Amino acid sequence: MRSLRVVRCLAIPAVLIATLAAAVSAEDVHYDVFVAASGTSLVIGGYDDAATTATVPADQMRVFGGEVVPATGTAAPYESASPGEPGFRAATQSFLNNPSLTTPAGVYTALPGSTPLTFSFLPISIGSDSRNLFYWSGTGSVAFAPVGADVSLDLDKQGGGGWTTGINGSSAAVIAGNTIQVTSAGVSAGTVHTHLFTSIAKAGAAPDQGFYLYAMQLGMTGLQSSDSLYFVVGALDPATLTPEQFADFETAHGLAEVWVENNLAAVPEPASFAIIGLGLAGLVGTASRGIRSRTNRR
């Protein structure tokens, strides 16, 4: 599964972790979003934290997952636990050329050094609805639907130079995000290693448990922007679940990701490409760039 859904990323007491871990498939892998360049375009793969290796398949990785849990009680917004989700990685040219570290090796190039990696939120079209944020309860067949205007999803970069930006149930546009990280210079030129934190709230309090779907696009000066990336975020309170219910939640999470993988194509339409570029230009002071067309659109 091209996603992140592992118990160690949840803010759960240790005893409960040991109990629930038995309910989670051993095949779950923690993938950070791995960014490299192919020609003049950004391409996306996955970085396996446990194996410290990267994979960038020919059709790229476009669907990632994560989970948010109560931070300070059930009345508070749900948040991703340390080290945060989603995570982002980029590597040196020597890493990309090493067949024991990157699959396939010697195909991609490192990102330029000392350059901001940025993102924008993208609208998603499902049926007749086009929104930035969708929701599925996790019961029955996968059926993502719009959420109310009082439901919000924020991404937060902590530490020095931190920021918070987000979307809600009423937003339906390309929304400029921020700088994820400036790539390293010197011997580690082009590298990125950082984590954002996700929070989901309903009217400032706990959200409905289930699965929230949003999309983003990555950008960088001198390279064409990435294809759309989709994130399926599970919101749950583990303290209220039995091991069987937790296993059912994980199964539903996987089904949601498979549905997104199989049913969603790049949004917005070509007429909106210039808008995306302008949003990124406002962040990094460069001319606009469009989305690279896909040859293997899902």
pLDDT, tens digit only, all 298 positions of the chain: 344 433 323 334 433 434 344 434 434 567 999 999 999 999 999 999 999 999 999 889 999 999 999 987 556 899 998 889 999 999 999 999 999 999 999 999 999 999 999 999 999 999 999 999 999 999 999 999 999 999 999 999 988 779 999 999 999 999 999 999 999 999 999 999 999 999 999 998 899 999 999 999 999 999 999 999 999 999 999 988 999 999 999 999 999 999 999 999 444 433 334 333 433 333 333 222 222 222 232 3
Cα-based distances in Å from 11 to 22, 30, 67, 147, 199: 17, 16, 10, 25, 13
Q: Decide: 164 and 60 in contact? Cβ < 8 Å.
A: no
SS3 of residue 253 by DSSP: helix
* Rounded Cα distance, 31 and 113, in Å: 23
User: Which of 174, 179, 223, 168 has the alpha carbon at shortest distance from 201?
Assistant: 168
* Contacting residues for 68 by C-beta, under 8 A, at least 6 apart: 78, 79, 80, 198, 199, 200, 233, 234, 235, 236
* Rounded Cα distance, 94 and 57, in Å: 19
* Rounded Cα distance, 20 and 248, in Å: 11
